Amino acid sequence: MPRQRVAALFLCLAFVGACAEKKPEARPKVPVTLATVESRPAPYSLRANGAVEPMQSVGINSQVSGVLQHVGFKEGDEVRQGQVLFQIDPRPFRAALDAAEATLAKDVAQLENARRQAERYAALVKEKSVTEADAEQFAANARALAATVQADKAQIEVAQLNLDNATIRSPIGGRTGSLLVRQGNLVRALGTAPLVVINQLHPIAIRFAIPEREFPEVLRRSKGSELTVRAMSKDGLGKVLEGKLAFVDNAVDTLTGTVILKAHFTNDEGLLWPGQFVTVVLDLYVDQDATVVPADAVQTGQVGTYVFTVDSAGKAMIKRVTVGRTTENGVIISSGLQPGQKIVVDGQSRLSPGALVDIRQPATNAGAPPAGGDAAATVAGTAQSPAQSPAGDSAARPARRERPGP
C-alpha cells in the first residue's frame, strides 16, 4: 500500500511540473485595414425632399358660350404664347356686333336731329317766339340721345369683345394637358372645369423646406450671391441637374419649424415634371482644407471620441479626436488628427488598446469620396408639414439637420 501511494505522488508531481513548463498561448492578431488621413474640400450642403411645380399653370376657360368649331392643338403639345387653342362659332357674336353698330348709327342720326332742334328752339327763345320750357324740352331730348349713343358705343365694345373671345388663345407658352372638349361640343362660358390646363415647363421650379435653425446660414450665404441647388431623382440613379435658389419664404411655418424655399431650373431636357418628387441638395459653402475620415473609424467610449492608430510595434493605440460636422462620406475631425497620419478604418470594432494587429492592404484613403458625387451635410429631423404631403401644394419633407460635433 505505501508503495502505491508513493507512485501516485510521483505521478502528480510529474504532471504539475509539466503544466508549469507549458507557456501561455499568444493572442491572435486582429486583421485591420489602415488608411491615410487626407485634407480635402468638404462641401456643406443641406439635403431635402422637393416637389417639382410649374413656373406658371393656367386653366383655360371660355368667356363666351357657343359651339366649338376647331381645336388648334393635340393633347400634350407644346404651345406658344398667343397661339390659337380653340375657335368657337363666331357667327352669333359677329351678328350681335353688326346689330350694335346699326343701333349706334340710328341713334347718332337721331342725336344730330335733336341737337339741331334744340339749337333752333334756343334761338326762338331769344326772339320770344317759344317758351323757355319748350326749348328746355328739346335740349333734354338731345342730352338723352347723347347718353343713348354712349350706351350704344359700350354695347359695341361688348359685342367686339365677345367676338374676340370666341377665339381662345394661349396666355403662356407651355405644355398642354388632357383635353376635356372636342370639336362640335357646346362650350359654356366660365365653366367649372377648364377646357385644358397649360403648364410652363421651361424654366421650372422645385419647392422644398429647410429646418428653422439652418435658415440664418442660408440667408447669410444667399446675400450677394446665387446659391446652387442640385436635384436628382429619388432613387439617385438619374442625372443631377443644377439650378439656382430663387425664393425664400417670408415666414417660418410654426407647425413644422421649417421655411419654404424654391429653386429655378432651366429644364432644357425636360427631365423635371410637375408633381414629381426629387431629392435636392442646397450647397452653402465648402471647407477647403477639411480633415475627413470615415464615420465608422470614429469610436465612442469612456475617454470620449477616438480612433485607433498602430504603433511601430504593431499594437493598437487610442487617439482621442474632436468630431466636427458629419458629411455623407464621413466626419470632419476638428482636432486630434493631422493629414498624413494612418488610422484603422476596418476591423476597429474588434480592437482594444495594446492588441496586436495584422495590417491588410487598404482599399481607399480615409475620407476619399466614393464614386458618385460630393459630400452633403447629414441633417436630422423628418417632420413633414401638411402642405408638404403629396395631396397638398408643397415641397416635400424638410431638410435633414446636420449632426453636431461634441
Instruction: Identify the pLDDT of residue 372.
Output: 36
Residue 356 burial class via C-beta count within 10 angstroms: exposed 0-12, middle 13-18, buried 19 and up: middle
Instruction: Identify the pLDDT of residue 239.
Output: 87
Instruction: Identify the pLDDT of residue 166.
Output: 96
DSSP state of 339: T
Instruction: Identify the pLDDT of residue 400.
Output: 47
In angstroms, rounded to a whole number, what is the distance separating the alpha carbons of residues 386 and 155?
49
Instruction: Identify the pLDDT of residue 396.
Output: 44
Instruction: Identify the pLDDT of residue 209.
Output: 96
Has residue 399 got a pLDDT over 70? no
Pick from 167-176, 345-354, 391-400: least confident: 391-400
Instruction: Return phi, psi of residue 386, to 5°.
Output: -55, -35
CB of 373 closer than 8 Å to CB of 329: no
Cell of 163: 367676338
Which residue intervals of 233-375 are DSSP H helices? none
Pick from 151-160, 232-241, 321-330, 358-367: least confident: 358-367
Instruction: Identify the pLDDT of residue 9.
Output: 55
**191 vs 99 pLDDT, higher one:** 99
Pick from 16-20, 112-116, 318-322, 358-362: least confident: 16-20
Q: What is the mean pLDDT of the chain?
A: 82
pLDDT more than 70, % of the chain: 82
Pick from 79-88, 171-180, 368-377, 392-401: least confident: 368-377
Q: How far is CA 85 from the centre of its chain?
A: 31
Torsion angle, alpha carbons of 189, 191, 193, 194, to 10: 20
Three-class DSSP category at 174: strand
For residue range 102-155, what is the model confidence (pLDDT) as tens digits?
Answer: 999 999 999 999 889 888 878 887 877 778 888 888 889 889 999 999 999 999
For residue 387, what are the contacts with CB-CB under 8 A and spacing of at least 6?
253, 260, 393, 394, 395
**What confidence tier does 245 reach under pLDDT thresholds 50, 70, 90?**
very high
For residue 331, what are the contacts with CB-CB under 8 A and spacing of at least 6?
292, 293, 294, 295, 298, 323, 324, 325, 405
Instruction: Identify the pLDDT of residue 76.
Output: 92
Instruction: Identify the pLDDT of residue 378.
Output: 29
Pick from 73-82, 300-309, 360-369: least confident: 360-369
Q: If you average pLDDT over residues 301-318, what whole number do you get?
A: 87
pLDDT more than 90, % of the chain: 45
For residue range 36-70, what is the model confidence (pLDDT) as tens digits?
Answer: 888 888 888 899 999 999 999 999 999 999 999 99
**357 vs 24 pLDDT, higher one:** 357
CB of 159 closer than 8 Å to CB of 96: yes
Instruction: Identify the pLDDT of residue 132.
Output: 80
For residue range 319-353, what is the model confidence (pLDDT) as tens digits?
Answer: 899 988 887 778 888 888 888 888 888 888 888 88
Q: What domains are there in the chain, each with its CATH number? A: 47-55+199-277 (2.40.30.170), 61-87+167-195 (2.40.50.100), 90-165 (1.10.287)
Q: If you average pLDDT over residues 239-253, what whole number do you get?
A: 93
Q: Give the global pTM.
A: 0.66
